Amino acid sequence: MTAVTLLVGRFAYDVHVRVSTVPALVAALVLGTGCFAALGLGIMHVIRSTEAAPAVANAAILPLTFISGVWGDFGGLPAWIERTAAVFPVKHLANSLQVAFDPRTTGAGFVANDLLMLAAWLGVGMFFAVRFLRAEQRRS
């Protein structure tokens, strides 16, 4: 999916990925994918049916994407909203990807704080995923 998105971006929107920032891009994608996959597995115990899954996922992620700047900079958000967004992984994944694609980025494009936050959330997600899967195994 990433390759297709990059190809569409390249040919439809003239988006360029600089070779120097590819490692940072890959690191952000790998940590972000792992983080959200683990969090998804970890929250499965809350979701009681397959019909409820999209509603739970959207209720959790959509507000975070708006306050995290995924859809643009709304400017002037209250400080408490900025602090709330900074706690969750969406803002850190979005920022890491934006830095990796920004033509003004110098160097490799790694944002250590963002990658550390994604790794921390990956740990949180793995903790809850393992707990959920062990509980499911005991029920079987």
Domain residue ranges of the chain, discontinuous segments joined by +: 18-139
- pTM of the complete model: 0.88
What are the tens digits of pLDDT across the range 11-69?
Answer: 999 988 889 999 999 999 999 999 999 998 888 877 878 888 888 889 889 999 999 98
- At residue 25, the pLDDT reads 94
CA 35 to each of CA 28, 39, 110, 113: distance values in angstroms, whole numbers, following the listed order: 10, 6, 17, 15
CA-CA distance, 60 to 100, in Å (whole number)? 26
Q: Per the structure block, which two tokens stand in for 2? A: 């990433």
**Cα 126 from Cα 140, distance rounded (Å):** 21
